[in-house]
Amino acid sequence: MTKTIHARPYDFPFDPAHTAVVMIDMQRDFLEAGGFGAMLGNDVSRLSPIVPACARLLALARRHGMTVIHTQEAHDPQLADCPPSKKARGGLACGIGDPGPLGRVLVAGEPGAGFVPDLLPQPGDLVLRKPGKGAFYATSLDAILHAQGITHLLIGGVTTEVCVQTTMREANDRGYECLLVTDCAASYFPEFHAAVVEMVVAQGGIVGWAAPLAEVERALS
């Protein structure tokens, strides 16, 4: 049955049966000290305030029968799926694949690549590992969404202007109707988060829609 989220730039109608919540990269490597985000010089404490809202969004999605997808930016242990340009970027003393406080940085199976404790995938959720910033690049996400009959995405996660925005733009170009859940996404740079929200909804929703979690909850209540 169609529900409606009061969103910017205008209402977002969606059917939960054809909607997925895509939670982008809520991994220890981005939210905790000693991970990839910290290695890049960021203040990682800026991301954790969204965790309770993300947990509410995931619980709401499961309760309403929506598909739940957690993406994970991580490379295989041989870094065979990591372009040399990505490994070299920033000239980090401890970068992708190197041993760090959370295990090998941004490598699948290491502690840092895992999800933060309050947002662990539950039975029935899908976990999608991705080598890039966008969740469609070099993954089976489009095929998965087609197979599940998904046409609409509610998107959260980190960071707003990197993996979240890239994924939302990739999805928009593939014909998915996307809504950014504004308080379920965060950046190390609050001004970048705010700018992304404006970029998404400008020009009649050139990339999609944006609304806070409370409006998603209201639509489903």
The residues carrying an active-site annotation are: 25, 130, 163
Distance CA 119, CA 121 (A): 6
Closest approach of Cβ 36 to ligand TIU, in Å? 7
Count CB-CB contacts under 10 A for residue 152: 22
8 Å CB contact between 32 and 116: yes
CB 173 to ligand TIU: min, Å: 19
Strands of 46-165, DSSP E: 67-73, 99-100, 103-104, 126-130, 152-158
**Which of 152/193 has CB closer to ligand TIU?**
193
Closer CB to ligand TIU, residue 25 or residue 32?
25
Which positions touch ligand TIU (CB under 6 A)? 25, 30, 37, 40, 73, 133, 158-159, 162-163, 188
- Vertex 49: Cα angle to 43 and 54 (nearest 5): 125
d(CA 66, CA 58): 9
DSSP code of 164?
I
Contact (Cβ atoms closer than 8 angstroms) between residue 79 and residue 96: yes
Identity of the residue, 25 or 110, whose beta carbon is nearer to ligand TIU in the bound complex: 25
Residue closer to ligand TIU (CB basis): 53 or 162? 162
Say how many C-beta atoms besides its own lie within 10 A of residue 205's C-beta.
Answer: 19
